[in-house]
Amino acid sequence: MGAIPGWLPILAERINWGCSTSPWFVDLADESKIIKRGRRVMLDLWPYIKDLPVNISAVRQAVPESMTAATKLLSRLADDERTYQRLFTQQFVLAERLTMEEAESEPTHERTQKLCQTMAEMCQRRDFVDGCHAIVAAELVATIYGRTSIPHYERYFEKHSDEYTQQEIDDGLEWLRLHAKTHTRHAIWMTKMLRDIGSDFGNEIPEGALAILNCFLRVWECPAEPNVSQFVKTLQH
């Protein structure tokens, strides 16, 4: 697969830290709060998810034709058929049977607005390199979020299977299960894309990735982070 940039494991460690300190994930571990928190998660993330295909498509159009790995990865993630988006909205039925009308009419929280604005800035108005880095961060967030949250949801719905049909449960958990999986082909394309754009192999997270990370940590309502050197030390031990 080739070497990965040195900042990528640090980015992953910081996302994991966010999951461990966010009240979102504390609530997901509490059976009495998981459904209400799940509904809030859907409402907070839907504006971002709705805009994501347009943002990724903008980067795909901007990358040079010679970057074949980037084109392959971005074409898969751009979700032209809105498959991933449909899987995301399938979760609504498990979130107190949230409707699309309710999701669309919900005022967007300022933290989510900042995330949406930053993603659009990096993908549509910056150099394609910033867009690629932003997308890498967003994909890593989705993977770690899925892996962190899916065990809580699966335990809950196994205990409360009489309240939903099995089809509703399977459909509702499909987005999380998909993102929690290891997608080897995607990882290979991503590594090649980062090499092609000349990503630094040091510890400094690129601007595009850092901006998206910081937005997600705010959306997750995380406390102030430790110094980045502590994340480096964690990876060294």
**Is it the case that residue 234 has pLDDT exceeding 70?**
no
pLDDT for 235 equals 59
What percent of the chain has a predicted confidence (pLDDT) above 90? 89
pLDDT for 4 equals 83
pLDDT for 200 equals 66
Window from 136-140, 168-172, 201-205, 215-219 with minimum mean pLDDT: 201-205
**Whole-angstrom distance, CA of residue 50 vs CA of residue 42:** 11
Structure confidence by residue, pLDDT tens digits, 50-105 = 999 999 999 999 999 999 999 999 999 999 999 999 999 999 999 999 999 999 99
Mean pLDDT, residues 9-25 taken together: 97
Mean pLDDT, residues 170-199 taken together: 94
List, as one string, the DSSP characters of the chain: -----THHHHHHHHHHHHHHH-HHHHHHT-TTTHHHHHHHHHHHHHHHHHHHHHHHHHHHHHS-TT-HHHHHHHHHHT-TT-HHHHHHHGGGGGTTT--HHHHHHSPPPHHHHHHHHHHHIIIIIS-HHHHHHHHHHHHHHHHHHHHHHHHHHHHHHHHTGGGS-HHHHHHHHHHHHHHHS--HHHHHHHHHHHHHTT---SSPPPHHHHHHHHHHHHHTT--PPPPHHHHHHHHH-
pLDDT band at 2 (very low <50, low <70, confident <90, very high): low
**Is it the case that residue 172 has pLDDT exceeding 80?**
yes
Greater confidence, 237 or 184? 184
**Is it the case that residue 14 has pLDDT exceeding 60?**
yes
- Closest among 62, 84, 207, 200 to 139, alpha carbons compared: 84
> How high does pLDDT run on average in the chain?
93
pLDDT for 202 equals 81
Angle between helices 128-159 and 207-219 (to 10 degrees): 30
